[in-house]
Amino acid sequence: MAIDTGILINVGFYVSFSIVFAILALGFNLQWGYTGIFNAGIAGFFLIGAYTAAIAITPPTPPSPGYPGHLGGYQLPIAAGAILAMLVSGLTAIAIALPTLRLRADYLAIATLAFAEVVRTVAINLEPVTAGTIGIIGIPRLFTFSGTNSALFTTGTVVGVGAVIILVLFVVLHFIVESPWGRVLRAVREDEEATMAVGKNTFWFKLQVFAIGGALMGLAGWFFVMALPYLEPAGDFAPAVTFSIWVMVIVGGAGNLKGSIAGAFLVYGLEWSSVQLKDLAPDALSPSIPYIRLMIVGALLIVLIIYRPEGILREKKRVLR
Amino acid sequence: MNATAGAPPILSVQRVRKSFGGIRAVDDCSLSINAQSITGLIGPNGAGKSTLFNIIAGLYRPDAGAIWLAGRRIDGLPPYEIVHRGLTKTWQIPHELRNLTVLENLLLGAKRNSGEHLLNVLLLSGAVRSDEKQWRARAREVLRLTELDGLANEHAKALSGGQKKLLELARALMTDPAIVLLDEPVAGVNPRLAGNLMDLIERLRQGGRTFFLIEHDMNVVMNRCDRVIVMHQGHAIAEGTPASVKANPLVIESYLGG
């Protein structure tokens, strides 16, 4: 039976990257949608996770003509890469949170945005560690296949593992946000001062959430290098990534976990389909398609904010017995 | 004179000062509150009453002075720590948690709720559930007390202004406070509800709690408070029984008018 594996692989890429964005969106939703912490440095935590994972698991890549080499060669198991990515991004989040989390929302946004840009600039320029703009190559795959359709199987395993991760994250996050702990987060979002005045150490709750969100963004970085075997810092971690995640969470519905997943698949779906269209469109139109996509996303956002500001899947009211 | 006169005060404010830019909002203010009393704090707008409440509750840090709660210094402590020591406050403009239900608003007042620790949530779900169950029962009790039981599962933002005032009090009571600072508890509340609210405060006082309240409604101040403290330009200028304060020339000049 002849299947056009090209199309399947292409769809597999769409699902894989949607999962990357969904993990980022879940992390940001926990921080902003549930707790009201406006993190503008999503791309920075994402980058740190991706590089940590890549450096931990990649075999030695000595410098050669045309390739500068990078820190690493540790060849740790892929799962260890995931744990390290979460750990390093989570600890970075704590380090960023300690001086900045007391800031008002707008100042926090400026500080975190600057953090992400500093991280990206360092990744571009710190060649001995990151291989600079050339990036890290030869990152191991989750499973290695050979023979015909090996590319399809590789993509399929990425999708499968990603689906399990999303499912586990959804179950665990749902459990914790619907607990009394999660109730305090929503209280902080509504009115931090009033939450303090009923006896909650709000800074402690914000710190926990910022760290967990940061760790999730690190996990997204690890999954990103599972979906794509090379890493380059300039484009994949630009501020536009952070802005996309905001759009995904707003469109999907802040304070709703399913909303983050749906928002990621929907908004990235627009990007992915615009790329497909670009190939099909007449030459004269083709260069405009990315801009048309941005216009559609912008228009979608405006319409949504006017007519359904709570997002497609709104936050549920918790009716208690 | 009430029965506890002579006993050490539950709350004592000593020479507290707080400036914002060039404005001395609270200037060398000293006062003390007897346990199990209902004490009124009156004074013209801008006298520093709400600022003083925020300082006592730990939301503002005083520039100078000391505050004692039941014999222990609390100035400089964070607000949540002061709540744990038995003092909480409400706001003049209600700070209801808008997108949480009334019942959820109350549950946040629960102290030592094991489910508010993430590790317990993940590892001790049985203990978390039983704790939560007890706190819900307690919250239902407080809702009945404040006549909000019919609104338990409504969003707080859906409540009327007067109901939000009740919610503020109910949430404060959930912290099981020894003393509650109430910032204009009956402002904007209809007379019947205001009467009920003050009756409730009287009953709670008889149950052992202390109330310190800012109020402009002279009917409440004169008929419901045991003692009245008058603030003017950042410090306490007079104190005494409602009748004596009403007759004090300083108070008439600065606040009540001739």
pLDDT tens per residue, range B61-88:
999 999 999 999 999 999 999 999 999 9
- The residue-averaged pLDDT of A53-73 equals 87
Interface test with A, best of B81, B101, B118, B124 (most A CBs within 10 A): B118
Give the pair of three-digit tokens for residue A132: 């600079």
Cα dist from A321 to A93, B3, B6, B131, B144, whole Å = 37, 42, 46, 14, 15
Q: Quick check: B132 contacting A, CB < 8 Å?
A: yes
Contacts of A59 (CB under 8 A, 6+ apart): A73, A75, A138, A140
Distance CA B170, CA B166 (A): 6
User: Is the pLDDT confidence value at B177 over 90?
Assistant: yes
Which residues from chain B sit within 8 angstroms of residue A184, using beta carbons?
108, 116
Residue of B nearest to A184 (CA): B108
Q: Quick check: helix, strand or coil at residue B236? A: strand
Strand partners, B66: B14
Share of chain A above pLDDT 90, in %: 69
How far, rounded to the nearest angstrom, does the alpha carbon of residue A209 sit from its chain's CA centroid? 16
pTM higher than the cut 0.95:
no
- The residue-averaged pLDDT of A198-218 equals 97
Confidence bin at B2 (pLDDT 50/70/90): very low
- The residue-averaged pLDDT of A272-300 equals 83
Inter-chain residue contact A183 with B57, CB threshold 8 Å: no
Interface test with B, best of A179, A184, A204 (most B CBs within 10 A): A179
Mean pLDDT of chain A: 92
- The residue-averaged pLDDT of A44-59 equals 96
Give the pair of three-digit tokens for residue B150: 């019919």
Q: One-letter amino acid identity for A166?
A: I
Inter-chain residue contact B153 with A175, CB threshold 8 Å: no
pLDDT digits (tens, 9 = 90+) for B17-59: 999 998 999 999 999 999 999 999 999 999 999 999 999 999 9
Inter-chain residue contact A198 with B88, CB threshold 8 Å: yes
Residue found by looking up tokens 């002061």 in the block:
B82
| Of the partner residues B59, B113, B131, the one whose CB lies closest to the CB of residue A197 | B59
Q: Which of B151, B158, B155, B163 is nearest to B196 (CA)?
A: B163
Which residues from chain A sit within 8 angstroms of residue B91, using beta carbons?
194
3-state DSSP of A96-109:
HHHHHCCCCHHHHH
Q: Quick check: B85 contacting A, CB < 8 Å?
A: no
Q: One-letter amino acid identity for A217?
A: M
Alpha helices in chain B (DSSP H): 49-56, 79-84, 102-107, 118-123, 125-145, 161-174, 191-206, 218-224, 242-246, 249-251
Distance CA B9, CA A52 (A): 59
Q: Residue B105: CA atoms inside 13 Å, Cβ hemisphere, count?
A: 36
| Of the partner residues A181, A199, A201, the one whose CB lies closest to the CB of residue B175 | A199
| Res B223: pLDDT | 94
**Long-range pairs for B81-87 at CB < 8 Å and ≥24 separation?**
B82/B56, B82/B57, B82/B58, B83/A197, B83/A198, B83/A199, B83/B111, B83/B175, B83/B177, B84/A199, B84/B111, B86/B176, B86/B177, B86/B178, B86/B179, B87/B11, B87/B56, B87/B57, B87/B177, B87/B178, B87/B179, B87/B180, B87/B181
Give the DSSP letter of residue B28: E
| Res B1: pLDDT | 41
> What residue spans define the domains of chain A?
9-237
Strand partners, B211: B38, B180
Spatial strand order in the sheet of B179-183 = B87-89, B179-183, B210-214, B38-42, B227-232, B235-240
User: Is the pLDDT confidence value at A158 over 90?
Assistant: yes
- Of B146-150, B188-192, B232-236, the poorest mean pLDDT is in B188-192
Pairing of strands B210-214, B38-42: parallel
